[in-house]
Structure 1
Amino acid sequence: MTRRVKYTTTPATRFTDSSFRFAARHSDNRMAVIPFHAHEFMEIEFVLRGVGIYVSDDAEYPMNAGDVFVVSPGGRHGYRDRDKCEVANVQFDPAEFLPHDNDITAVPSYHALFVLEPLYRALHHFESRLRLGIHDIVQADRLITGLENECLRKAPGYATAVKGLFTQLIVLLCRAYLATTAPAAQVLIKAGTAIRHIDQHCNEPVAIATLARVSGLSVNQLLRVFRQATGQTPHDYQIHQRILKATKMLRETSDAITPIAYELGFADSSHFSRHFKRIMGLTPQAYRRHAATA
């Protein structure tokens, strides 16, 4: 690991269709340096061949064939020696393309890889990153090529084809991460089990002792990993997930505030409204009015 040099942070948005925020490409490797930048979307970067340098907020790390980097929206990153490796990128709107309610989200490595690892990897000096074996590299490259072709050709039904191929890619990555033996990754997978439990019981009281038991971590380990990875306690994370559900209900239903509060597990409408305003900056009533006119 070496200290990174300073780069200019630059936004980058490269979707050709604003209504279908997905792109896949094998990147041009003629540029040795990719400036430090951030995206408003999620990105998965695959190192298919060769070596290079990944630049994060705190340091620079070597990247090798098989390395996979999930970059969350707003995550700042860059590259050096990019011309010495072959890289493929998949960029997408996570709200639209990441699975949220199918069986892959029940796999602990899903939450570990797509929620925790992007935030946690620098603390582990990249020891928690995913590295694919040669067979999985070939499979991933085949799927990315299929995604790239569908995005370029836009033949009838391409949106369905893209979502199908992308789901296969997500499953491949989750299975590979679940099989990793790196201690740092195993800790994140255990914490991912806690996140899955919260998501499955979001509207119910969830005791920290229960989360520690299902994750196989001590209470102190779980709290430390959770806070370092998400910036929140498990309870705060649960409240945020409830509020996200509330925004959808306020936009898409005419249900009154009090029934929404009770359905989401809040003690009363005042308790719900207080948390909603703290997180969203508006009262539930004001949010609903704003959503109706947006």
Structure 2
Amino acid sequence: MHTDSESASNLPTQPRLAHRDIVDALTTAGVAPQRMLELDNGRALAQWQNRQGEVRYERPRHHALSIYIDKGEHARRVVNGKTVSQGFPGAVCLFPAGSRSTWQINGQFEFFHFYFNDLDIAQCAEQTWDSDPDKLQLYELYHGEDPILAQAGKLLTLSDWQAPGQNIAMDHLAQWLLLQVVSRHSGIQQAPPVVTGTFSPRYRRLLQERINAQVSQPLTLADMASWVNLSPYHFARLFRASFGCAPYQYVQEQRLIRAKDLLRQRGNKITAIALSCGFNDSSQFSRAFKSRFGVTPSGYRAQSGLD
């Protein structure tokens, strides 16, 4: 199994993908993930490529969202040996925990999986709509049309999961996927509430201070939202309205600004600076720094006359 170590989040260690029931079913059928990314609280993303054979999902203990990338017509859902639905590029499937399904594959196609659990949907429903999570039920969906989620699949295809700071961006995307699943494919079935306004000056200062104080730490959308007692959904929208960018973009900028300051101080090794500013390694830090400032960290030091 290929392990995308550089894209793996530096969040606290979570169970590996192979320990999830649907992942077990796919690997047992001889399918290997093309890439994978562990997120916060047991959520995960995986890109798969299947070619042929049969796969059975037998009452998984977690939920999964599937978005087909291309050639989805090679995947068929069967019941008692008969085809009941056939895929297509952009097709969406939703497997609630406890669901059962059988799949016949007769040609190569690719798809994404997003894995999440009961706590994720309960928190999403309660925090976003103030809805009773005990009454929330996810609906099974097989080869459905959902243009919004299909577009998310295209975004996942284009995303570089190894890019510096991408773990925060993908955590943000995962929160958005949860919101779409709960609002469109559950018992709630209502649009997320409209969020207007901006943070107060006091909350802006608080967020700036907390982010600067913890810039070396893994920061998730849920972590930052908890600082001001908001749901990730409300927080992300108020943050963008207040700061002019998404939270993950702001965090990345603060990390690079901190790094630039540290590079101007003699005696600080580049690897140590990278780790102290929240990057996984010096290579990831160098790519991010050059993308932002047009020069590598070592090149910046040379220009500053500090080498």
Shorter-chain TM-score bucket reads 0.3 to 0.5
State the TM-score, normalized to the length of structure 1. Answer: 0.34
> Greater helix share, 1 or 2?
1
